[in-house]
Amino acid sequence: MTRDADSDQPTDRSQYAPNPKEDRAGIALCLSGGGYRAALFHLGALRRLNELGVLSKVSTFSSVSGGSILAACLAAQIATGLHWPEPGGVIGDFDEKIAIPFRQFTRKNIRSAPVITKIISPWKWLDSAYGARYLAKQYEQHLTGLRLRDLPKKPRFVLSATDMTFGVNWVFDSNYTNPHQNPQGPDLGDYQAGYGPFPDWPLARAVAASSCFPPVFNPLPVGLPAYHFEHGKYDGEDRQELVEGIRLSDGGVYDNMGLEPVWKDHQIVLVSDGGAPFEAEPDSGLLWRVGRYTSIQGRQGAAVRKRWLIRNYETDEMDGTYWGIRSSPQRYGDDLPGYSKDLAVDVLSKVRTDLDSFTDAEAAALQTHGYYLVDAAIRTWTNNLTGTATPPTVPAPTPGDEQGIRRNLHNSHKRSLIGRGQIVW
Q: Outline where 121-263 has alpha helix (H).
A: 130-142, 203-211, 239-244, 252-255
pTM, rounded to two decimals: 0.92
- Nearest one of 386, 377, 263 to 322, comparing CA atoms: 377
The torsion region of residue 167 among left (phi > 0), alpha (psi -120 to 50) and beta comes to left
Phi, psi values for residue 193, rounded to 5°: -80, -30
> Cα separations (Å) of 327 from 331, 343, 345, 374, 412?
7, 10, 8, 11, 19
Instruction: Report how far Cα 148 is from the mean position of its chain's Cα atoms.
Output: 17
* Rg, Å, the chain Cα set: 21
CA angle, residues 227, 231, 232, in degrees to nearest 5? 85
- Any bridge partners for residue 154, and if so which? none
- Any bridge partners for residue 319, and if so which? 268
pLDDT at 4: 39
Return the beta strands (E) in 315-411 as ranges.
Answer: 319-324
- Nearest one of 342, 397, 396, 340 to 373, comparing CA atoms: 340
Q: 206: how many CB neighbours lie within 10 A of its CB?
A: 28
Q: What is the DSSP string of 21-53?
A: GGG--SEEEEE---HHHHHHHHHHHHHHHHHTT
- Nearest one of 412, 410, 413, 344 to 376, comparing CA atoms: 344
What is the rounded CA–CA span in Å between residue 110 and residue 37? 14
What is the rounded CA–CA span in Å between residue 220 and residue 12? 35
- Nearest one of 43, 14, 62 to 106, comparing CA atoms: 43
What is the rounded CA–CA span in Å between residue 83 and residue 98? 12
pLDDT at 178: 54
The answer to whether 177 and 265 have CB atoms below 8 angstroms apart is no
pLDDT at 2: 32
User: Dihedral of CA 133/134/136/140: which sign?
Assistant: positive
Packing angle of the helix pair 203-211, 66-79 (nearest 10 deg): 160
Q: Show the low-confidence residues of the chain (pLDDT under 50).
A: 1-10, 182-183
- Any bridge partners for residue 61, and if so which? 29, 157
What is the rounded CA–CA span in Å between residue 136 and residue 20? 39
What is the rounded CA–CA span in Å between residue 45 and residue 158? 19
- Any bridge partners for residue 273, and if so which? 324
Q: 96: how many CB neighbours lie within 10 A of its CB?
A: 12
Count of residues in the chain: 425
Q: 364: how many CB neighbours lie within 10 A of its CB?
A: 21
The answer to whether 196 and 181 have CB atoms below 8 angstroms apart is no
Q: 90: how many CB neighbours lie within 10 A of its CB?
A: 16
Between the two ends of the chain, the Cα-to-Cα distance in Å is 56
Q: What is the DSSP string of 270-331?
A: EEEE-PPPPPP-----HHHHHHHHHHHHHHHHHHHHHHHHHHHHHTTSSEEEEEETT--GGG
- Any bridge partners for residue 188, and if so which? 172, 196
124, amino acid identity: K
